[in-house]
Amino acid sequence: MDMTRRTLLGAAAIAAAATSSSLGATSSLAATALPDKESFDFHGVFLNAAYAHPLHRAVRQAGNDFLLARADKDVRRAWPRDNPRNDAVAKFASLVKANPDDIAVVPATMEGENHVVNALGLSDKAGVVTDVYHYDASLALYGEWAKRGVPVTCLRQKDNRIPLEDVERAITPNIKLVAISHIASDTGHQYDLKAMCDIAHRKGALVYADIVQSAGAVPLDLPASGVDFACSGGYKWLMGEFGAAFLYVRPDRVKDLKQTAIGWRSLASNNSHSWPFDPPGPALGDWTVKDNAVGRFEVSTPSWVSLAMLAKSIDIVQGIGVENIMAHRKPLIARLREELPKRGFSPMTAPENNGPTITFAYQDAAKKLGPVLEAANIKVTLGANRMRVSPSVYNDMGDIEALLRTLPKA
């Protein structure tokens, strides 16, 4: 397949990306063609961005600039209240077409899902539908709720898909939540999120979507989809660092959520009545809680440095354009789908999916393929009996051909 076509980043978009961080410009980003190998410093062939995306040099520089400011340049700054949080949230909100007030910062995707589940009031009359493609730790989460008497239905795949009609049948009157991965981590299975939400809402259920494999990888319009809750960490297709995630809450759902955690980030006001010159009042003080996603779920000090890096990395994603990223990887994934079944690799990702990964079943994959891939300095995700490949903006057809040369011929 002809890979001479390259997607150019607009110079104006890159110039904006280079200057829009709340910390100021970090390093100048010149107009760049895909594949962009020059902006990343790893060695070998890395086809594993779905596990953890390598750091762009400008993202790493944003982290360095933040730490330098903390240590020396701006040591007297009121860091807990004057920080990169709002900048990063605004940029993520723009990426998913949401209002920044509807997004809370939490430490990780699973933290966000736990927050939502705890706030919903699950019971023996308010259960969950999920599926085998949801994140494995999420399945353990719902398994623990099932031990407490909450009805939990976990749907199995059919022909590498979870049919929406199966989801609809599973949403009985005692189901309160449908919990899914929008794009499955293990296989790349992709839901039509709006269709899913339409079905669930028609039957009286809410929808939580793990979007860690879709935010930055495919176009998202969370309000238009109707999804009630969605969460994504920053270190995969948002190209940022560990330690911060974005939890979206549909604004009309906030009033129905229990307040299960609280901290200084949750408060709209907090007044003391115990110190000299304080007005009279209760010893506990008085306070108000923000009536939005932040008030429900943003509890304490997040990783400011991770947010500084995310503000820069989301600039880069937006500058390239999610559609351009998709177009770049499409022929790379298509080449694997065409060639590997001839060698005994069985696709586990349905062909209509347009996500960033493709997975193949292969018996004893880790045992048989791990040593040869390591020797060739090629990184993919290997399970006991499957292989996942996830190319990004720095990969080209040469990387795919290097993988094919290394894998068994038959």
What CATH number corresponds to the domain at position 227? 3.40.640.10
The phi, psi pair for 13, rounded to 5°, reads: -65, -40
In a domain, 212, yes or no: yes
Report the percent of the chain where pLDDT is more than 90: 88
Hey, what are 171's tokens? 């949403």
In a domain, 73, yes or no: no
Is the per-residue pLDDT at 170 higher than 80? yes
The pLDDT assigned to 3 comes to 36
Residue 294, in any domain of the structure: yes
This prediction's pTM: 0.91
Amino acid at 371: P
Name the residue with higher pLDDT: 17 or 208: 208
pLDDT in tens, 202-230: 999 999 999 999 999 999 999 999 999 99
Q: For residue 344, is it within any domain? A: no
Q: How far apart are CA 53 and CA 176, in angstroms?
A: 34
Is residue 19 predicted with pLDDT exceeding 70?
Answer: no
Q: Quick: pLDDT tens for 324-341.
A: 999 999 999 999 999 999
Over 90: is that where the pLDDT of 21 sits?
no
* 354 within a domain of the structure (yes/no): no
Share of the chain above pLDDT 70, in %: 92
Q: How many domains does the chain have?
A: 1
Residue 242 in domain: yes
∠ Cα 350 167 224 (to 5°): 80
Is 108 contained in some domain?
Answer: yes
SS3 of 319-384: HHCHHHHHHHHHHHHHHHHHHHHHHCCEECCCCCCCCCCEEEECCCHHHHHHHHHHHCCEECEECC
| Mean pLDDT computed over 17-24 | 36
Checking if the pLDDT of 73 tops 90, the result is no
pLDDT at 26: 34
**The pLDDT of residue 82:** 83
Asked if 240 and 308 count as a contact pair (C-beta separation under 8 A), the reply is no
Residue 278 domain boundaries: 85-313
The length of the chain is 410
Whether residue 39 is contained in a domain is answered as: no
